[in-house]
Every structure is written in C-alpha cells, then in structure tokens.
Structure 1
Amino acid sequence: MIPTHIEHIGIAVKDLEKAQQYYEEVLGMKCYAIETVEDQKVKTAFFQVGQTKIELLEATAADSPVAKFIEKRGEGIHHIAFAVKDLAIRLKEVEQKGVLLIDQEPRAGAEGMNIGFLHPKSTFGVLTEFCEKREESV
C-alpha cells in the first residue's frame, strides 16, 4: 500500500475565525470551503497549498475529539491525512499488520471524503487518517 499523496494536514484551533484570519491575512492564503461535520462535532476550514490542503478544525461541542485534543495538548497539528485507493481494504491491511484502528470501517468525512483513522499508539504518536473520495451515487 502506497498513499497517492498527503491529502491534508489537520490543525486543531480554538477559534476558527481567528485562525482563518491568520492564514488569509498573514500567509496570504484563501479559504475555499467551510463545512460542519455533525457526527464528528467539528467545523472545518480548508486552504490549498500545492497538492496538499490545510484543514483547520474547531470543536462544535465540548465532548468532541477535537475539544478533548485541545484540552489535553493545546492547539496545533492534530493529524496527517493520506489519500489512498480502496480505503476499506487499506484499513484491513494495516490492521493485519498490527496497527490499532479508530475506525474499523470507512465513514463520511468533510469534502465528500470517506475517512478512517489509525490510532496514534500504533503510529508513533501521530494521529493518521486515510482518505478516499466518495463515489457519487448515480
């Protein structure tokens, strides 16, 4: 299994609006999408940098994974996401190699992606996400 590219880097922030302002006014980047993912209790903002995206993550509830992350570790890099083909198969492959999974099966994420997270206990402390563009139903 070889990822096709780094899909995005997720950054946990307390205030999405302030963080977005930094990326736009200081770094000169343009936010191209803001989306709330209800089941993950998170609001996201996306920026494109070459082939890779930056995903800012703001918790929408105190019990969300992002809120817990910020409470424990503070703002900063939350995860790295790799684009893969055949996500469900990739998750099973890494699990067979001894990697602990957060997601046993793909689930819906932002930007029309199916996603699956690998547990940082198995990935040298880095929360790792696999992503695959959802196929549009015909």
Structure 2
Amino acid sequence: MLTRIDHIGIACADLDATAAFYRTTYGFEVFHTEVNEEQGVREAMLRINGTDDGGASWIQLLQPLDADSPVGKWLAKNGEGVHHIAFGTADVEADAETARQAGVRVLYDTPRAGSMGSRITFLHPKDCHGVLTELVTAAPPKAVEGASGH
C-alpha cells in the first residue's frame, strides 16, 4: 500500500548549483549525497518534512555521471526539470506485483538499491499517463539518521 509521496526526482546539469538554488530560495538543506553508479547519477537528497510512517518527503536532485546514462539521455532530450515521482511503500515487491497485475510494466524484475539504503523499482511512464513512477521502501529510520554521505 502506497503511504506517501517519497520524493520528486529533478534532473539537473549542475548538482551543486541546483542545491544552492533550493537552499537560497526555499531553505532546503542537503541531507545526503551519494554517487549511484548503477543508476549513473550523482544525487543529493533535500529533506522537506517527516511523515507519520517514519519516512520523509524529499527533493532528489539527479546529475548524470555521463551523457549515456538514463538521466543523461533524459536531460539531453528534455532539459532540466521533474524527472519522476516516487511513492513510499512498506513493501516495494508487493506493490510492484499489484501494479504488474493491473497491466503496468515494472522496469526491474527485482528491486534495486536506491538512495540512503532504500529499495526501489520503476513503473513504465507509458503505462502511468506519461509519468515515470518510482516505488520506494525506505531504509529503517536509524539507518537514514546516520547516513550523511557528504
């Protein structure tokens, strides 16, 4: 069962400059940074607020590691902006299977490693009214508290 909006993923050409914009304009601080080689991105997580289920809502900034990565190709085609929306769930596998049974293509056969120790999968945008959709099971709160990453 989807419990919240986990994050909005934003593709950007310069992660540091984009993070500075969000800090200066909205007061959002970078909570965590990491390089995800498998996804081909350098990313920053900006925490917006906590939620009742122990998770939080985030802005995820994504800078491609190279032009041939999925985000690099997307950025070249679309320019900077919203890349995807992610919904939090206690069980990414169960919700992926529910989506699959509803006729939605799930992009990974098994969940992969996501930000801050999370487990993720994506749903095909053509089956989700044009929106690349991510399902996220967050790491336990204690694991996230200690994950500065920067």
The question of a shared fold, defined as TM-score above 0.5 by the shorter chain, is answered with yes
Deviations, residues 2-45 of structure 1 (Å, cap 9, x unaligned): 31111111000001011011011222221111111111110111
Residue 108 of structure 1 is matched in structure 2 by: 113
Residue type of the alignment partner of 1:56? L
- Contact 2:111-2:120 within 8 A present in 1 as well: yes
- In structure 1, the partner of 2:53 is none
Q: Does the Cα contact within 8 Å between 2:119 and 2:136 map onto a contact in 1? A: yes
Where structure 1 has 5 or more consecutive residues not aligned to the other structure, the ranges are: none
Q: Over residues 65-104 of structure 1, what are the superposed CA-to-partner deviations in whole Å (9 max), with x where a residue is unaligned?
A: 1101111111100001001122112111111110012112
The residue that corresponds to 1:44 in the other structure is 43
2:91 to 86, 92, 107: 86
Corresponding position of 2:23: 24
Partner in structure 1 of residue 67 of structure 2: 62
Runs of 4+ in 1 over 4 A off after TM superposition: none
Which residue type is aligned with residue 6 of structure 2? E
**Scaled by the length of structure 1, what TM-score is found?**
0.92
The equivalent of 2:131 in structure 1 is 126
Provide the aligned length of Structure 1 versus Structure 2: 135
Alpha-carbon distance in structure 1 between the residues aligned to 2:128 and 2:47? 26
Matches within 5 A, 1:1-12: 2-12=1-11
Cross-structure match for 1:72:
77
Q: Percent identity?
A: 40
2 CA distance for matches of 1:84 and 1:112? 14
For the 8 Å contact 1:9–1:77, the answer to whether it is kept is yes
Question: Secondary structure in 2 aligned to 1:80?
Answer: strand
Deviation at 1:134, TM superposition (A): 4.3
Structure 1 contact 91–104 (Cα < 8 Å) conserved: no
Judge conservation of contact 2:2–2:95 (CA < 8 Å) in 1. Answer: no
The code of the aligned residue for 2:103 comes to G
CA RMSD in angstroms comes to 1.4
Q: Tell me, yes or no, if the aligned pair for 1:91 and 1:105 is still in contact at 8 Å.
A: no
**Structure 1: how far apart are the matches of 2:21 and 2:137?**
29
Report SS of the residue matched to 1:90. Answer: helix
